Amino acid sequence: MSLIRRGDDGYEAARTGRIFNDRHPQRYPAAILRPADADQVAAGVRRARAENLTVSVRSGGHSWAAWSLRDDALLIDLERLNRLDYDPATGVVIAGPAVRGGLDLAPFLAERGRAFPGGHCPEVGLGGYLLQGGQGWNGRRMGWACESVVAVDVVTADGEQVHADSEQHSDLYWAARGAGPGFPGIVTAFHLQTYEAPAVMWHDTRTFHPDDAAVLLGWLHDLLPGLDRRIEPVLAATRLPGETTLLLHTTVMAGSDDEAATLLRVFGDGPLAGKELSRVTGPTSIARECVAQAEQSPEGYRYAVDCTWTDAPADVLEPLLSRLWRELDTEHSFAIWYGWAPDHELPDMAFSVQGNVYLATYAIYADPADDEKYRTWVHERTADLARHGTGVYLGDTDFTGRQDRFLSDEHYRRLEEIRAHRDPAGVFASYLTADRERLNVHG
C-alpha cells in the first residue's frame, strides 16, 4: 500500500494525475493512499480516524468538480481495485470501483455475450457513476445503471467490511444507489446484474441548422411519449464542424438489422425530412460510439458543466436553448437535449429525481484565465432552464457553482438519517458544496 504525504515527491501527480477535468482545484489532501485491496482500504479508514483526517475517495477521477480533492483529507485512490469476475450461472459480474464502464466492462461482457448500461464515455469509473445513478447505453430500456446493482461490498466509517444487499445492511444498499459522494462508506466492489447483449446496435445521425430549433424541438417533444424504449434520442448543439450545428444522434439496440432500421424509420418522417444538412443511418457498436464520445469530450481541456431535468414543453425551452446554443463559442463546447421520458416507478433506492428531458451543457476550453467566464456562463444559462426544471443529475453538477435538488425531499431526509447512523463522526467528506444549508434545495 503506498502512502504519499503532502510535500513528498510524487504528491502533485498523485493529487491531480487521474483527474479528467484539467481545471484542477486548489484543494490539497494531507495524504494520498493507494490501496491494493479492500483490506488495505479498511486499514486506510482506520488510519484516517487515528490521525483525525476526513476521508475522500477516487475511483475513475471523472467527477467534473474533482470531488475527490478535499483539503487536509486522506484521499483513498482506488485505482488498483479493478477486478472483474463473472458468474455465468447468475449473470452477475463483480466489478471493482475503478473498472471503466466503456474501456473495461463493456468488452469484458461482450466476449461473454452480455451487456450492462455502462456510461456513454468510455473512461468513467464505475465507482462515482453507479453511486450517483448511472446514465448509460440503452438506459431508456435498461433503466438507471444503479437499478442493476444487486449488492455492494463496503468499508464502513469504523473500518469494517460489510456486504450490503436487500437483506443485510440494506440501508447502505439503499444509499449506494443514488447518494453519490454523500455515500457514508467506501464501495470496494459492485455486484451487477448483466443482460443478454442485443444482437445489433444502429445509429441515425442527422444535422440541422440552428434556425430549425423550434420545429425540431417541437417534433421531438411530440415524438418522445410514444418512442420505443430501445431508442435513445440525443440532440446536441455542437461546434465541431466550425459553427454551431444541431446534431440529432439516435442509437438503438435491436434483435436484427431489419428491426433496427424499422425502429429508426420514424426519424425520417419528421417535419424537417429532406431539410437536414446531412444524414447517415447504419450499424454501429458501443466501441465505435465510445470513440465518438471520447472525441466529443476530449482530454487535456478545462470543463465547466451543469444540467437540469425538465418536464417543460418545447416552446418554453426553445428560446432558452437557442440562446445558449448560439452562445457556444469554443471548438469543443457542446450542450445536449436527451429525451429520457421515465416510464417506470423507480425501485426503493436513494436515486429519485429525473424528468422528461435532460439538459446538460459542457463548456470546454483551454485557458485558465477563462475559468470564471465559462463557469458563470454555464451556471447562469442552466439556472434559466432550471426555473422550469425538476432538479439535477449529480453526474453533471458542480455545487460550488450552482446547487439544486438531486434527491426527493423524503429520500434526502432518509439519507441524512442513514449518514448520521453510519458515520456520526463525519469520517467521509460527503458533498462538496458552496452552501451546506442549501444542499438539495430546489429553486
- Residues of this chain that interact with ligand FAD (CB under 6 A) are 20, 56-64, 67-68, 78, 97, 119-121, 124-125, 127-129, 131-132, 134-136, 181, 183, 186-187, 297, 395
Identify which of residues 46 and 209 has a Cβ nearer to ligand FAD in the complex: 46
Q: Rounded to an integer, what distance in angstroms lies between the CA atom of residue 221 and that of residue 98? A: 37
CB of 168 to ligand FAD, least distance (A): 18
Identify which of residues 63 and 310 has a Cβ nearer to ligand FAD in the complex: 63
CA-nearest of 382, 218, 202 to 309 is 382
Shortest-Cβ-distance residue relative to ligand FAD: 128
CB of 317 to ligand FAD, least distance (A): 21
The helix or strand, by DSSP H or E, that contains position 393, with its residue range, turns out to be: none
Three-class secondary structure assignment of 110-166? HCCCEECCCECCCCCEHHHHHHHCCCECCHHHHCCHHHHEEEEEEECCCCCEEEECC
CB of 281 to ligand FAD, least distance (A): 23
Which sign, positive or negative, has the C-alpha torsion 404, 19, 13, 295? negative
Which sign, positive or negative, has the C-alpha torsion 299, 434, 426, 423? negative
CA-nearest of 304, 303, 321, 328 to 386 is 321
CB of 157 to ligand FAD, least distance (A): 12
Backbone angles phi and psi of 284, in degrees to 5: -145, -170
CB of 134 to ligand FAD, least distance (A): 5
Identify which of residues 318 and 396 has a Cβ nearer to ligand FAD in the complex: 396
Identify which of residues 22 and 212 has a Cβ nearer to ligand FAD in the complex: 22
Identify which of residues 328 and 427 has a Cβ nearer to ligand FAD in the complex: 427
CB of 56 to ligand FAD, least distance (A): 6
Identify which of residues 45 and 216 has a Cβ nearer to ligand FAD in the complex: 45
Beta bridge partners of 5: 31
Helix (H, G, I), strand (E, B) or coil at 338: strand
Q: Rounded to an integer, what distance in angstroms lies between the CA atom of residue 188 and that of residue 186? A: 6
Identify which of residues 60 and 178 has a Cβ nearer to ligand FAD in the complex: 60
C-alpha cell at 426: 463525519
CB of 211 to ligand FAD, least distance (A): 29
Q: Give 138's contacts (C-beta < 8 A, 6+ positions apart).
A: 115, 117, 198, 230, 232, 253
Cα radius of gyration (the chain) = 21
Identify which of residues 61 and 198 has a Cβ nearer to ligand FAD in the complex: 61
CB of 337 to ligand FAD, least distance (A): 15
